[in-house]
Chains A and B, each alone.
Chain A
């Protein structure tokens, strides 16, 4: 199957600093990537949709100035948590859409990275 790499796997940062998380599709091109946040024992909450070459689309309630997303190439999207606070501590997961399709029906299979644990102290 396709592979999505996420880096770093875990990071600890001081309150007020910024931290960048990378998401790479290793063996396919992904025009669309997604960033999720997951609190312990909860479901994934979509934060934003990252589109290559254009601005990200943020979900309601997600601060675009705090969670900067850059999709600079067809294989790389980055999420930067700016001015991090302890409440930003969470598990952040990216995914990339690998398209399939034919006549009549199309869709995508989403491949997830392994996630990044962010702890803000």
Chain B
């Protein structure tokens, strides 16, 4: 079942602005991951944050995780037109150990960065 819920569902900003997307989930997790998908293409892994981490950075990306609120945010700073894509959060459940590292995806946020 899909437990992640991203908001907003769609976000349109101007180049250079920051974009913030949020994700909420329902069950205990091992980690939370953010992915990017260009239209009609596969997914690209952006960043993984473990359940014992609160914040992580990678280039222009900043991810936060609040396990008490079961939520995460993805911040893209100084956005570019090339950042236009759908962004999904995905959670690996705390009970999905062993050989079954199953991810549950949210519904995604469609980000449009206007030049």
Which residues of A line the B interface, CB within 8 A? Answer: 1, 4, 6, 31-32, 34, 41-46, 49, 51, 57, 91, 93, 95, 97, 99, 105, 107-115, 117
CA distance A121 to B82 in the complex (A): 34
Q: Are A115 and B99 in contact (CB under 8 A)?
A: no
Determine how close the nearest CB of chain B comes to the CB of A100; give it in whole angstroms: 9
Docked-complex contact A110 and B45, CB < 8 angstroms: yes
Do A43 and B48 have beta carbons less than 8 Å apart?
Answer: no
Contact at A43–B105, with CB atoms within 8 Å?
Answer: yes
Across the two chains, which residue of chain A brings its CB closest to B10? Answer: A41
Query: Is the pair B48, A109 in contact by a Cβ cutoff of 8 Å?
Result: yes
- B80 to nearest A CB, angstroms? 21
A98 → chain B closest CB, angstroms: 10
A113 and B105 contacting across the interface, CB-CB below 8 Å: no
Closest chain-A Cβ to B104's Cβ sits at a distance in Å of 8
Provide the B24-54 mask, 1 if CB < 8 A to any CB of A, else 0: 0000001101010000111111001010100
Is A115 in contact with B45, judged by CB distance below 8 angstroms? no
Chain B, interface size category, equals 20 to 34
The dominant DSSP class at the B interface is: strand
A interface: dominant SS: strand
Within 8 A of A (CB), among B84-115: 88, 90, 92, 99-108, 110
Say whether B14 faces chain A, with CB atoms less than 8 Å apart. Answer: no
| Distance, CA A43 to CA B103, complexed state (A) | 12
Q: Are A93 and B100 in contact (CB under 8 A)?
A: no
B-side residues, CB < 8 A to A, are 2, 30-31, 33, 35, 40-45, 48, 50, 52, 88, 90, 92, 99-108, 110
**Which residues of A lie under 8 Å from residue B88 when comparing CB positions?**
43-44
Question: Using Cβ atoms and an 8 Å threshold, which residues of chain B touch A95?
Answer: 43, 103
- Interface contact B102-A34, CB-CB below 8 Å: yes
The answer for the CA separation of A32 and B96 in the assembled complex, in Å, is 12
Contact sample, A vs B, 23 pairs, CB 8 Å cutoff: A4-B42, A6-B42, A32-B100, A34-B103, A44-B43, A46-B102, A49-B102, A93-B42, A93-B43, A97-B101, A105-B30, A107-B50, A108-B92, A109-B45, A109-B48, A110-B90, A110-B101, A112-B35, A112-B42, A112-B43, A114-B41, A114-B42, A115-B42
